[in-house]
Each structure stands twice: as C-alpha cells, then as structure tokens.
Amino acid sequence: MAFNKADSAAAHNFGLQIDGTTVEYLQRVSGLGQEQDVIEFKQNSAKGQPATAKMPGVAKAGEIQVVRATTQSQAFSDWIKKSFEGDMSSARKNATIIQMDYQNNPVRRFNLRNAWCSSQKFDDLEAGSTSPVTETVTITYEEMKVEGG
C-alpha cells in the first residue's frame, strides 16, 4: 500500500547519515529547527512619517540532540571520538537526519552542514534493569537545509 500524501507521516522511523552513508537508526531526535536573524530597518517616508520594515538576516547555527543505543554504529562512535579529540578536520562532517514513512521511504531530510558532536551523555546505569543503555549526543552544525515535506 503506497503512502497517501494526505496521511500524516509517523515519527517512529528515522536515521542518521554521515557524508551520505547511513550509520545509525535513532531512538529519538530533538531540537530540529531553523532560525535566522531579523533585520529591522527604520526610515522616514517622503512625508516625514516614520516607517519600519523587517527583512531576513543571516541564518543561525544550531544544534540537535539524538538518542541512540550504546551498542550501535562504530562509525558514529568514531565520529564522536574525533570530535572530542579535537580533530576538527576529520570531525566536521555533513550529516543528515532522514525521516521515513512506514515503508522506509524517505519523507524529509534535515541536511546539517559542518556538523560535529559537542556533548555525549549516558543514561543512568541501574543494577538489575532490563532497559537498554542509551546515550544522548548533541550535534552542533553551521547550517540546516530541509528537503521534502
């Protein structure tokens, strides 16, 4: 059954690509969004009346948080390691969060330019727990472009 454009895409299936290669399916992504400066321009009209106009400024850099199981992709782990070692020539990558429909077809892509990992936090470890151990990684980027949707 094909995905009907009138249907809303479920948010349960998404992955991470680094430099075009899918390296991870994620448990959660938060903080996706874009923001830009607003330039306010004030002047007087020909009749001497004050007038204000607004126009878009420079897009702001951003960051997102992703949650993954700690036993997953070695490529993602290596990317985190390079970031924390300060090897920025290797750590800065183009990354993409891909939102997929229930048939694993891409619905939307969040392309992150010059992305690198700036934070890594592990969940609490609890004796006797049967929950998987996850980590939250903050990915910092210079520019986001959204495709699709």
Percent of the chain residues past pLDDT 70, beyond the cut: 91
- What are the tokens at 43? 């002047």
41 is a domain residue: no
Q: What is the model's pLDDT at position 1? A: 44
9 is a domain residue: no
Q: How do residues 7-29 score in pLDDT, each as one tens digit?
A: 665 667 888 999 888 888 888 99
72 is a domain residue: yes
Mean pLDDT of 111-139: 92
Closest CA to 145 of 108, 118, 116: 108
The residue type of 69 is A
134 close to 65: Cβ distance less than 8 angstroms: no
Q: How do residues 65-81 score in pLDDT, each as one tens digit?
A: 999 887 768 889 999 99
Q: What is the model's pLDDT at position 83? A: 95
Residues 95/61/27/79 CA torsion (nearest 10 deg): 50
The residue that leads in pLDDT, 71 or 51, is 51
1 is a domain residue: no
5 is a domain residue: no
Q: Which domain holds residue 76?
A: 14-35+50-147
CATH number at residue 104: 2.30.110.20
Residue for token digits 């980590």?
Answer: 135
51 close to 44: Cβ distance less than 8 angstroms: yes
Residues 31/114/104/1 CA torsion (nearest 10 deg): 80
The residue that leads in pLDDT, 105 or 50, is 50
